[in-house]
Structure 1
Amino acid sequence: EDASPRKSAWGLLVAGGLGASLLALHAVVTPFVMPALRRVCLPFVPATSAQIENVLQMLRGRRGSLVDIGSGDGRIVIAAAKRGFKAVGYELNPWLVWYSRYSAWRDGVHQNTKFYISDLWKVSFSHYTNVVIFGVPQMMPQLEKKLEEELQHNARVIACRFPFPCWIPDHITGEGIDTVWAYDLKTSKRETECLKMTSGTEF
Structure 2
Amino acid sequence: PDEIVQRMLRMAKVTPQDTVYDLGAGDGKIAIAAGKLGATAVGIEYNPDMAKLAQCYVQAEELTGKTRIIQGDVFKEDFSKASVVTMYLLPELNLRLRPTILNMKPGTRVTSHQFTMGDWDPDETAEVDYRTAYLWIVPAKVEGAWTLREQGSANAYTVNLSQKYQKITGDVAAGSAKQPLVGATMRGEEIRFAFNDDKGVTRTLTGTVRGNELTGTLKGAGGAETKVTGTRK
| Cα contact 2:111–2:136 (8 A) shared by 1 | yes
* 1:74–1:177 Cα change, 3 Å: farther
Aligned to 1:55: 8
Which of 163, 169, 186 pairs up with 2:139?
186
Aligned positions, number: 143
Aligned to 1:115: 69
Higher helix share: 1
1:145 shift after superposition: 1.3
* Distance across 2 between alignment mates of 1:190 and 1:92: 34
Of the structure 1 ranges 117-126 and 172-181, higher mean CA displacement relative to structure 2 is found in 172-181
In the TM superposition, what are the counterparts of 1:1-203 in structure 2 within 5 Å? 48-60=1-13, 62=15, 63-149=17-103, 151-175=104-128, 178-186=131-139, 189=166
* Distance across 1 between alignment mates of 2:47 and 2:139: 33
| Cα contact 1:141–1:164 (8 A) shared by 2 | yes
* Aligned CA-pair RMSD: 2.0
* Distance across 2 between alignment mates of 1:88 and 1:173: 24
| Cα contact 1:161–1:177 (8 A) shared by 2 | no
| Cα contact 1:134–1:160 (8 A) shared by 2 | yes
| Cα contact 2:27–2:50 (8 A) shared by 1 | yes
Higher relative contact order (CA 8 A, sep 6+): 1
1:154 shift after superposition: 2.0
1:175 shift after superposition: 4.7
| Cα contact 1:77–1:89 (8 A) shared by 2 | yes
Counterpart amino acid of 2:119? Answer: C
SS of 1:121's equivalent in the other structure is coil
* Distance across 1 between alignment mates of 2:71 and 2:130: 26
Per-residue CA distance 1:12-53 (angstroms, 9 max, x = gap): xxxxxxxxxxxxxxxxxxxxxxxxxxxxxxxxxxxx122212
* 1:153–1:109 Cα change, 3 Å: same
| Cα contact 1:168–1:190 (8 A) shared by 2 | no
SS of 1:174's equivalent in the other structure is strand
* Distance across 2 between alignment mates of 1:56 and 1:140: 18
Aligned to 1:201: none
Using structure 2 for the length normalisation, give the TM-score.
0.57
SS of 1:179's equivalent in the other structure is strand
Unaligned runs of 5+ in 2: 141-164, 169-233
1:60 shift after superposition: 2.6
Counterpart amino acid of 1:58? Answer: M
